[in-house]
Chain A
Amino acid sequence: MSNPKPATTAAPGNGALLATIIRGQSVIVPILALIVAFAIGAILIAGQGVNPISAYASLFHYAWFSSDGLQVTLLRTAGLALTGLAVAIPLKIGMFNIGAQGQFLVGAITAAFVGYQFGNLPGIPLILVALVGGIIGGAVWGWISGILKAKRNVHEVISTIMLNYVAAQLIDWLLNSYLKAPGQAIPQTPKIVDQAQIGNLGPFPVGFLIAIVLAAFSWWLLRRTVLGFQFGTVGANPEAARYAGVKLPRMYAAGMTLAGGMAGLSGGVQTLGETHYFEQSFAGSLGFDGVTVALLARGNPIGVVPAAFLLASLRAGAPGLQFDLGVQPEIVDLVLAITLLLVSIPILAKLLVRKGATAAPTPAPIEEELR
């Protein structure tokens, strides 16, 4: 990116500086947003009569430095990052996946089923089968939305919302009948066998590493492959893409299948890595948190990891706030909302770059529009 101004009007070196600022903007804006959001959060905490510094100290102590705090935080990061990818990938095609919740659930229960049903398999193959099962489960659920859009022009927002409910009810039925662990009051599956549980590789949970690898893979897929380029063209202008020979139905189906696979894997990782059995309530609001993560990362697959880490840290530390200081844990949601809001203000980005610099890009809209 170079300064388009003639060299005579700009001091030497100015162009390089400007270019650095513009490149750094994708890092500077979120950091500034975070600082402001935490400052506003501090005011709110102070309003409750609690010292904000000790509140934040307690928050991050719980999230990062308590006995297995960082473990839990990183595991949650993995789940959130993968569901974030499940939203970010379709965004590239101009599709809005609100169905990560359902895709997650289907993936999680499939992985749990494999994990206890095929207990005679040795560790590594069993884990692989269970994770692949999770991917397939989620991918099928995503594919339904994709194929409905591709073949019958059913809006993906409708189909993913409907399929969330359908998944929840179907799974509730399975948990109360065929997959129910005997002798449990709450409907849940039996525990997966010991060798199906995934632990740590060095200091990091395996699930976290999987998430990082897949974030990098998604970035490569979207930025460096023909498929990714086609996704981008469809997202920018479906009519132009079709005119250029891109098969739209195939793109819609592929995008939603990929997304579903990511969410399903998220379910698999959580089942094998954290909970070791399946219960309906495990998903929590993960699907919608995936939307938050993807938007916080502005749809960038690499950005999804730090965004997920932030969200996971806030969520993991929130109980500490309540425990130590009696601050309501919902305060972290407000901090999160403010961050998201500030990250998304194009003007904030514009202000950082000198006025009149024509090279100043405003962050591209997350998606052109909801179709």
Chain B
Amino acid sequence: MTQWLAKNKSAAIIALVVLVVAYGFWAMSPDKATSMLRFAWTLSIPLVLGALTGVIGERSGIVNIGIEGQMLAAAFTGFFVAANTGNLWLGVLSGLLVGAVMGAFLAWIAVVFQVDQIILGVVMNIVATGVTSFYYVQGKVLPSAMPTFSIPLLSDLPLVGVFFQGGPIALLTLFTVLGTWYALFRTRWGLRTRAIGEYPTAADTAGIGVNKMRIINTTIAGLLAGAAGVFMSMEQTSSFARDMSAGKGFLALAIMIFGAWFPGRALAAALFFGLASAVASQLQADKVVDIPQQFVNLLPYVLTLLVLALAAGRVRAPASEGIPFVKGEGS
């Protein structure tokens, strides 16, 4: 812990300042602070999950810009399977599976046929948009609302209790971030994953099945994109709308890069984005400032750009992302 603090002084200071400001604000008006954080967190969840999909994929060397399509297809499948079978959990499960299958498709074609991964992502997005509007039917409803849970004790905490209550996907998101971080940086699987994304030839020499692992990892990551989609159509709202992912998959990619390909930083980046939105809409609602709605809407995007421009982080992508691995042809 002390070692980590010494290495990440600025991060620790920023976190401390944010906490002090947040609790200061909470002390002044607890209801408002809590509702703003809930707003920000709800906005962040699909972005975090999508960004994690990207992190796992790119850390293993597979670029995935089809996250948008995975989310959309999963939102569609989850909602309509649940609506047609009357079983919520069957819907959730099939949504997750669709995300995973699309991830598997991406990685498999990329590995076996060495098709450009950017193109595969674009293909997935086109197909997802086409198929979901092709089979779209109006007037379906979920058999029931998604149940909500709250973790005892933790959910009673002031302010941060927000993170520990909600639907199943919302609840699991925080733990997924933790789990992904732990898996990537503290396990043998994670070391291997990072190896095949950085220097696959060396990994291959060490006896790691590079391509097999890339396929498996991208498939697992697809589950998370699926979860993001299911969250949109079954937890955040209870309906599916055409094109409901509305660019969130691309935003998740931006969050992934903003987070420098680290799970924790991606969470922070998404929360930053969500909080900026929350603050802007709250200012508007309270009539503190009288600015057009459009400026409120664009604030998070401009802020994200500004922060990136000012911080000018020397972020670096995994060295071998997007490059097919062929045994014996590496350098």
Give chain A's interface residues, CB within 8 Å of chain B: 96, 98, 148, 152-155, 157-159, 161-166, 169-170, 172-173, 176-177, 288, 291-292, 295, 328, 330-331, 333-334, 336-337, 340-341, 344-347, 362, 365-371
Whether, in the assembled complex, B4 has its beta carbon less than 8 Å from a beta carbon of chain A, the answer is no
Give chain B's interface residues, CB within 8 Å of chain A: 63, 109, 113-116, 118-120, 122-123, 125-127, 129-131, 133-134, 247, 250-251, 253-254, 257-258, 292, 294-295, 297-298, 301-302, 304-305, 308-310, 312-315, 317, 321-323
Query: Residues of B contacting A173 with CB < 8 Å?
Result: 292, 294-295
Query: Residues of A contacting B247 with CB < 8 Å?
Result: 161, 164-165
Question: Are B314's CB and A153's CB within 8 A?
Answer: yes
Question: Are A161's CB and B114's CB within 8 A?
Answer: no
Q: Is the interface of A mostly helix, strand, loop or mixed?
A: helix
Question: Are B308's CB and A172's CB within 8 A?
Answer: no
Query: Residues of B contacting A295 with CB < 8 Å?
Result: 116, 118-119, 122
Question: Are A337's CB and B123's CB within 8 A?
Answer: yes
Question: Are B114's CB and A370's CB within 8 A?
Answer: no
Query: Residues of B contacting A96 with CB < 8 Å?
Result: 118
C-alpha spacing A346/B114, complex, angstroms: 7
Question: Are A347's CB and B126's CB within 8 A?
Answer: no
Question: Are A154's CB and B308's CB within 8 A?
Answer: yes
Q: A172-B294, A365-B322, A370-B63 are in contact. List 6 more A-B contacts (CB 8 A).
A: A155-B308, A161-B247, A164-B247, A330-B131, A340-B123, A344-B116
C-alpha spacing A291/B63, complex, angstroms: 16
Could you write out 9 A-B pairs with CB less than 8 Å apart?
A165-B247, A166-B302, A176-B292, A291-B122, A292-B126, A337-B126, A337-B130, A346-B113, A370-B322
Minimum CB–CB distance from A270 to chain B (whole Å) comes to: 21
> In the complex where A157-B253, A162-B254 touch, is A369 in contact with B113 (Cβ < 8 A)?
no
Minimum CB–CB distance from B85 to chain A (whole Å) comes to: 24
C-alpha spacing A341/B117, complex, angstroms: 10
C-alpha spacing A152/B308, complex, angstroms: 8
Closest to B314 in A: A153
C-alpha spacing A154/B307, complex, angstroms: 10
Question: Are B305's CB and A159's CB within 8 A?
Answer: yes
Query: Residues of B contacting A347 with CB < 8 Å?
Result: 113-114
Closest to B322 in A: A369
Query: Residues of A contacting B125 with CB < 8 Å?
Result: 288
Interface centre among B109, B129, B308 (most CB of A within 10 A): B308
Minimum CB–CB distance from A300 to chain B (whole Å) comes to: 14
C-alpha spacing A346/B110, complex, angstroms: 11
Closest to B296 in A: A169
Question: Are A152's CB and B312's CB within 8 A?
Answer: yes
Question: Are A330's CB and B254's CB within 8 A?
Answer: no
